[in-house]
Homo-oligomer: A and B are copies of this chain.
Amino acid sequence: MALIVQKFGGTSVGSIERIEQVAEKVKKHREAGDDLVVVLSAMSGETNRLIDLAKQITDQPVPRELDVIVSTGEQVTIALLTMALIKRGVPAVSYTGNQVRILTDSAHNKARILQIDDQKIRADLKEGRVVVVAGFQGVDEHGNITTLGRGGSDTTGVALAAALKADECQIYTDVDGVYTTDPRVVPQAQRLEKITFEEMLEMASLGSKVLQIRSVEFAGKYNVPLRVLHSFKEGPGTLITIDEEESMEQPIISGIAFNRDEAKLTIRGVPDTPGVAFKILGPISASNIEVDMIVQNVSHDNTTDFTFTVHRNEYEKAHSVLENTAREIGAREVIGDTKIAKVSIVGVGMRSHAGVASRMFEALAKESINIQMISTSEIKVSVVIEEKYLELAVRALHTAFELDAPARQGE
């Protein structure tokens, strides 16, 4: 008999009909013999409705009071699901974040979980009840209601699974698992049976929006096996776990991630003196602009070129900050490009395999795709290319690294 934490998101509980479907699903699992803790989000749209109410009062709602309002969304769904379970003869009880109690710090709207008291839940499980917990919320040491920020319900699920030493934390979504890449771009993309936390982090932060990054970090830290499943379709989903099988045969690359959200900025002809990188990036970060890739080439005639990427929404702002910097440090010019895309190959397998990067570059060269920037990590190689080549690049890499679904290969 396993202890499973199941988390259902906003669209999975977006209507009474869907809540009934979730109740059916939970009932089946319960009857199969597992102990279940179910974590829920608010009905889809509800959190926005509540924020809108607050925004009608003031553009800048007091964070403490905003949490008081917003936390009601999950409070409604947990009680509705509990009713639906009891109606089906499944003993169940609901708990708010305060009732559990999920202790957080006092950073309203973006609180972090400090501790979870598992006593109540354990007592209920022992009595045979399904325990339904409000995601996304907690309580600080002074009894103030807090929320974890958007997507926080995933984090609640993982934190509960860690506190209860659950066998698995199942995240139910609108996809049936994690894919080798976006199936809309590559029809031959395959669902992965397994992926490591590290790989998932790289996939998630690169734009595979299946799971919240924070919850994956959390799961990795506490070694909670995470499984991504479809809310309303049967299937094994994708298990995200630690890398136990380094010695066993596995693909070098698990997946190909990409995004189009970034823009590139280059400051050229920078006098190459110590501390110049800080002089360039200091003002950017002081303007609260997040920087992703950073590349500096070897210097040439005592000047160097310095390139980095930012979110496309912040391109204009970053450009004007950089213009100022260029004047101050005597750089030649600032150029930029918003029509770029980033493509990354991700896989723990590349640690032990040389030549992964060159195989990537070769595949792109074959399609005559020019590489503008390169950056690498232990389990990832990312390149920036012209946006119009994005789909072509992803498909070429998917084939080159033998990720295409066998049945469809060569279609």
A residues neighboring B (CB under 8 Å)? 16, 19-20, 50, 53-54, 56-58, 61-62, 64-66, 68-69, 71-72, 75-76, 78-80, 82-84, 86-87, 93-94, 96, 98-99, 143-145
Contacts and interface: CB of A to CB of B under 8 A. Distances in A.
28 contacts: A16-B53, A16-B57, A19-B57, A20-B57, A50-B76, A53-B76, A54-B79, A54-B80, A54-B83, A57-B80, A58-B83, A58-B87, A62-B82, A62-B83, A65-B79, A65-B82, A65-B86, A66-B79, A68-B82, A68-B94, A69-B75, A69-B76, A71-B75, A72-B72, A72-B76, A98-B98, A99-B144, A99-B145
A49 B177 CA distance: 36
Contacts of A72: 72, 75-76
A49 to B, nearest CB: 10
Contact of A80 (B69, B93, B94, B144): B69
A364 to B, nearest CB: 52
Contact of A83 (B61, B98, B143): B61
Contacts of A80: 53-54, 57, 65, 69
Contacts of A87: 57-58
Contact of A79 (B20, B68, B76): B68
Contacts of A86: 58, 62, 65
- Please report whether the interface of chain A is mostly helix, strand, loop or mixed according to DSSP: helix
A58 B75 contact: no
A93 B108 CA distance: 14
Contacts of A78: 68
Nearest to A23: B57
Contacts of A66: 79, 83
Contacts of A143: 99
Output the residue of A54, A57, A72, A79 with the most chain B CB within 10 A.
Answer: A79
A119 to B, nearest CB: 12
A122 to B, nearest CB: 15
Contacts of A53: 16, 76, 80
A50, A57, A62, A144: which has the most chain B beta carbons within 10 Å? A57
Contact of A94 (B56, B65, B82): B65
Nearest to A82: B65
A47 to B, nearest CB: 12
A68 B84 CA distance: 14
Nearest to A56: B16
Nearest to A80: B57
